[in-house]
Amino acid sequence: MNPRLLSLAAGVFALLFPLVAQRGPQQPPAPKGPWMDKTLSPDRRADLVLAEMTLDEKISLLHGGPGGFGPPGGPSAAPTRSLGGAGFIPGIARLGIPDLQMADAAVGVTRGASRSRYSTPLPSAVSEASSWDPKLAYEYGALIGRELRDQGFNMSLGGGVNLTREPRNGRLFEYKGEDPILAGRLVGQEMKALQAQGVIGDIKHYALNDQETGRNIGNVILDKRSMRESDLLAFEIGVQDSGAGAVMCSYNKVNTDWACENSYLLTDVLKKAFGFQGFVLSDWGGTHTTTKAALAGLDIEMPGSNYFGDALKQAVDGGAVPLARINDMVHRILRTEFAVGLFDLPSAPKVVDVFGGLEVAQRVAEQGTVLLKNSSGQLPLSATAMKSIAVIGSHADAGVLSGGGSAQVDPPGGNAVPPPPPPEGAAPGRGGFGGGRGPVYYPSSPLKAIRAKAPNAKVEYNAGTDPAAAAALAKVSDVAIVFVNQPTSEGRDVDSLSLPDDQDQLVKSVAAANRHTIVVLETGGPVTMPWIGEVSAAIEAWYPGIRGAEAIANILFGEVNPSAKLPMTFAKAETDLPHPTIAKATPTTQQLATSTPPFVAGGGGRGGGRGAMAPFDIPYPEGLKVGYKWFDAQDKQPLFAFGFGLSYTTYAYSGLTVTPGPQPKVSFTVKNTGKRAGAEIAEVYAELPPAAAEPPKRLVAWDKVQLAPGESKTVSLTLEPKFLSIFNVEKDAWDLVPGDYKVFVGGSSRQTPLIAALRM
C-alpha cells in the first residue's frame, strides 16, 4: 500500500480505536423486534419479549449481577458494564433488554466520588416533607431523575416512606415523617417525576423497617388493621399515585416472616390489594430463601444470586416454583421497563445541570426549614441594625451536616470537616459513618452566608467546644446564633433524643450570656430541647443540603418567610413516647460467650453478623397511634406538635363549611393578618365516630396558600372517602363507619380553631 495511504489509515484507526474500545462493552445494540412497536401496551410488549426467552435468560434478570455491591463480603471482581451504582443487572443484548443500572438516590444520586461524578446534594427527605408541598416533591424527584439519567442510571433506589414509629431511627432523614397520607402523597409525586425522566422509581423499605437497631433480625409485631391504616397506607398511596415500577422489601421480619418472603405483604397486599404492577426487589442481602421467597412474591434478589440464581433454576426444574411464577416475575420487570421508557429512550449521558441543581436544593431547604420559636419578634434579623453577631458551634464556619449511610451524596470537593484518618486496616466505608469516616459536612458555610447578609456587622465564630468561651463571645455580641446538630446514619439509631456532645449545655451557657440567642438545629429527626424556654428563637433546618447555609441565612434575615411545618411530633421527653427505649436483642450468656463475631445488640449492618445475633421482637402495641395520634390519645403535650411551624406573619381562619356526600367537601377562609407575604399550610383533620374506635384525629387534607399582607383566600378541598375510613380486617376491605364525624381546620394538629360536624 502507498505509504501515505498507510499512515492515513493508521491515523484514522488510531482515532477510531479508542472510541470503539470505549463504546463496545458499554452500549448494547439498539433494540429490535416486534415489541419495539410503541403503539402496543407495556404488557403486550413484555409478553412478546417473554415469548422469546430461554429459562436461563429469564433467571438472569432475577438477581443482581457483577458490579453492584456484590454479595456481602465484598464487591465482585467479575467483568461488568456496571456504572458503579449500588446494583446492576445485565440486560440481554440479543433481545435489546437494557442493563438495569441502579443507584441509591434518596436525597440525591450517590457514590459519585469513586468515578469523579457530581450530583446535587439535596436537603434531606424530611426537609422536603416539611414543605408539605406536592409540587416541590415533584421537583425533588425530577431533579434526582434527571441526574440519574444524565449519569447513565435507569433505576433509583430512593423513595423511603417508613413512618416515624421510632423517633430515634437513624434513617429518619431519608423518610417523610409520621403521617401516612402526607408521606404517601409526597412520595407519589416524587416517583411520578422521576419516572417521567425515564428512570424507574422505587419505594422502600417495605415494610415496618422503622428502626436500624437489629434491622436484620428484628421481628416487628403489628396487627393488620394498624398496618393497613398507617404504615402500608403510605406505600399504597405512593404506588397508586405514581405507578412506581419497584418496591424494595425490607430486612426485618413482620409477624414472623421476613419481609422479603412475606406473602401477606408482597402478594396479598402490595400486588393484589394495591394493584402494584411493578416488581419487588430485596434490600441488599435481605433474601433468605428460594422457594418460599419466590412463591411469596419476591421478584428480584439483590445484590447477588445466592437464592435467585442457580438455586431458583433448580427449584423450577424440580417443580417447587412453577414456571408461571418465573414468567410473572420477568413480565413485571419488562412491563415496567416498557412503561417507564427504558427500551425507547436511548441513554444520553451528559454533565448534570449543576446550577439548576443548586437552585432547587436551596428552594427545598427554604421551604423545608421550620421556625419553631420566635419570641418578641427576635427574627428576622435586621442586617442594618446588627453591629455584632456571634456564630457558634456545629462547624458552622465550614459547612452543614448531612445524613450517613447508603443515601449519603458525596460532598463536592470532599468533606468540609474532614474526620481524623481511619484506623490502619479499617475497611473502606460507604457513606458518613462506615470504616472510620465521620459525619459528612457539605461545603456551605453558615458563617460566610451570615457575613454576606450583614456586611457591616462584626460576625465572629466560636467552635462551641468550650461553653464558657462561647458564652464570653455571646456576651459581647448583639445576638448569638448557636448551631447544634445530631448526626444520624443508616445502620445505627441515635442513643437518645438528646443532642450529643454536651450541646444542651452549650446552648444553656450561651443563652445565659445573651438573651438574644437563636438556635439553628441540624438534625435528622426530633430532639429534646431542655433549653427551649431560655432562647429567643429556634429553627429546625434538618440536614439542609448543598445550599443549606444560604437558605438558613435567608430565613434568619427575612428574605424568605418560613412556611414549613413539622411532619413529625417532637416529644418533650423519651418517657412520653410509646417506647421509652428502643427494642433490642438480649443475648443469652451462652451467645455472649460463644458468638463470633462478637454479639452486637444494635447491629444494623447489611449482612450484619446475622448468625451471631438472637432474633428479637419489635412489638408495636400502640398500633394505630403513630406520632401525633399517640400524643392526642394519651393527652400528652408534645414539645412541638405534628403540623406545627411559625411564620413571620400571622394567619386567621374563618368560615368553615362542610358539604356532606360520598366525597365530602370542605371550604374555609385563610387570611394573612400580618405585614409580610407568606404561605400558610392549612391542615384539615377528621375525628371519626366512636364506633370506629380510632385515635382522636387524623390528617385528611391540606393546602398551601400564598397570601399577600391582608389578603384572604377561600380554600376548597375534597375529602377522600378512604381517608375517612377504617380497615375492616374480617372483610379485608375499607369501611366507612356511618355516624357523626367532626372536621377540624387550622395551622397545626394542636391548633384547629375551626370545627364542623359531618354526618356520613
In angstroms, what CA-CA distances link 520 with 170, 306, 370, 400, 552? 20, 47, 10, 11, 8
Residue 723 binds to ligand BGC (criterion: CB under 6 A): no
Site for ligand BGC in 562-591 (CB under 6 A): none
Q: Between residues 60 and 489, which has the closer beta carbon with respect to ligand BGC?
A: 489
Residue 259 binds to ligand BGC (criterion: CB under 6 A): no
Measured from the CB of residue 605, what is the shortest distance to ligand BGC in angstroms?
8
Site for ligand BGC in 262-301 (CB under 6 A): 283-284
Q: Between residues 184 and 404, which has the closer beta carbon with respect to ligand BGC?
A: 404
Q: Between residues 302 and 511, which has the closer beta carbon with respect to ligand BGC?
A: 302
DSSP line for 498-554:
S-STTHHHHHHHHHHH-S-EEEEEEESS----TTGGG-SEEEE--S--TTHHHHHHH
Of 342, 203, 280, 277, nearest to 43 (Cα)? 277
What amino acid is encoded at 266 in this protein? L
Q: Between residues 124 and 528, which has the closer beta carbon with respect to ligand BGC?
A: 124
Q: Between residues 404 and 695, which has the closer beta carbon with respect to ligand BGC?
A: 404
Site for ligand BGC in 129-158 (CB under 6 A): 157
- The H-assigned helical ranges of 276-400 are 291-296, 310-317, 323-340, 354-368
- Among residues 61, 83, 86, 518, the one that binds ligand BGC under rule CB under 6 A: 86
166-185 mask for ligand BGC (x: CB under 6 A)? --------------------
Measured from the CB of residue 108, what is the shortest distance to ligand BGC in angstroms?
14
SS3 496: coil
Q: Between residues 393 and 405, which has the closer beta carbon with respect to ligand BGC?
A: 405
Q: Between residues 104 and 179, which has the closer beta carbon with respect to ligand BGC?
A: 104
Query: Cell 432547587, residue?
Result: 360
Measured from the CB of residue 371, what is the shortest distance to ligand BGC in angstroms?
31
Residue 606 binds to ligand BGC (criterion: CB under 6 A): yes
Question: Within 13 Å of residue 699, how many CA atoms lie on the same side as its CB?
Answer: 34
Measured from the CB of residue 283, what is the shortest distance to ligand BGC in angstroms?
5
42-81 mask for ligand BGC (x: CB under 6 A)? ----------------------------------------
Question: Within 13 Å of residue 6, how many CA atoms lie on the same side as its CB?
Answer: 3
Residue 528 near residue 497 (C-beta atoms within 8 A):
yes
* Integer Cα distance of 561 and 577 in angstroms: 32
Site for ligand BGC in 190-209 (CB under 6 A): 204
| 460 contact partners, CB below 8 Å, separation of at least 6 | 388, 389, 390, 391, 473, 477
Query: Cell 457483577, residue?
Result: 66
Residue 88 binds to ligand BGC (criterion: CB under 6 A): no
Q: Name the grid cell of 388.
A: 455584632
Query: Cell 450484619, residue?
Result: 608
Measured from the CB of residue 112, what is the shortest distance to ligand BGC in angstroms?
14
Q: Between residues 84 and 134, which has the closer beta carbon with respect to ligand BGC?
A: 84
Q: Name the grid cell of 668.
A: 374555609
Q: Between residues 201 and 678, which has the closer beta carbon with respect to ligand BGC?
A: 201
| 721 contact partners, CB below 8 Å, separation of at least 6 | 662, 663, 736
Measured from the CB of residue 300, what is the shortest distance to ligand BGC in angstroms?
13
Q: Between residues 279 and 685, which has the closer beta carbon with respect to ligand BGC?
A: 279
Q: Between residues 104 and 150, which has the closer beta carbon with respect to ligand BGC?
A: 104
SS3 436: helix
Q: Between residues 219 and 408, which has the closer beta carbon with respect to ligand BGC?
A: 408
- The H-assigned helical ranges of 543-598 are 548-556, 589-594
Q: Between residues 73 and 356, which has the closer beta carbon with respect to ligand BGC?
A: 73
Q: Name the grid cell of 306.
A: 445466592
Residue 406 binds to ligand BGC (criterion: CB under 6 A): yes
Peptide bond just before 303 cis, omega within 30 deg: yes
Residue 212 binds to ligand BGC (criterion: CB under 6 A): no
Measured from the CB of residue 82, what is the shortest distance to ligand BGC in angstroms?
13
Query: Cell 438477581, residue?
Result: 63
Helix (H) or strand (E) holding 555: helix 548-556
Helix (H) or strand (E) holding 181: helix 180-196
Measured from the CB of residue 691, what is the shortest distance to ligand BGC in angstroms?
40
| 479 bridge partner residues | 389
Residue 522 near residue 396 (C-beta atoms within 8 A):
no
Q: What are phi and psi of 171, to 5 degrees?
A: -105, 15
Measured from the CB of residue 70, what is the shortest distance to ligand BGC in angstroms?
11
Of 105, 235, 120, 219, nearest to 180 (Cα)? 235
Number of residues that bind ligand BGC (CB under 6 A): 8
Cα of 364 vs its chain's centroid, Å: 14
Measured from the CB of residue 279, what is the shortest distance to ligand BGC in angstroms?
15
Query: Cell 380553631, residue?
Result: 753
Measured from the CB of residue 561, what is the shortest distance to ligand BGC in angstroms?
35
Site for ligand BGC in 627-666 (CB under 6 A): none
Measured from the CB of residue 68, what is the shortest distance to ligand BGC in angstroms?
8
Site for ligand BGC in 470-509 (CB under 6 A): none
Peptide bond just before 597 cis, omega within 30 deg: yes
Measured from the CB of residue 204, what is the shortest distance to ligand BGC in angstroms?
6
Residue 449 near residue 549 (C-beta atoms within 8 A):
yes
Helix (H) or strand (E) holding 651: strand 651-659
Residue 104 binds to ligand BGC (criterion: CB under 6 A): yes
691-720 mask for ligand BGC (x: CB under 6 A)? ------------------------------
Q: Between residues 427 and 757, which has the closer beta carbon with respect to ligand BGC?
A: 427
| 157 bridge partner residues | 104
Q: Between residues 104 and 147, which has the closer beta carbon with respect to ligand BGC?
A: 104
Measured from the CB of residue 303, what is the shortest distance to ligand BGC in angstroms?
7
* Integer Cα distance of 173 and 192 in angstroms: 21
Measured from the CB of residue 469, what is the shortest distance to ligand BGC in angstroms?
41
Contacts with ligand BGC by CB under 6 A lie at: 86, 104, 157, 204, 283-284, 406, 606
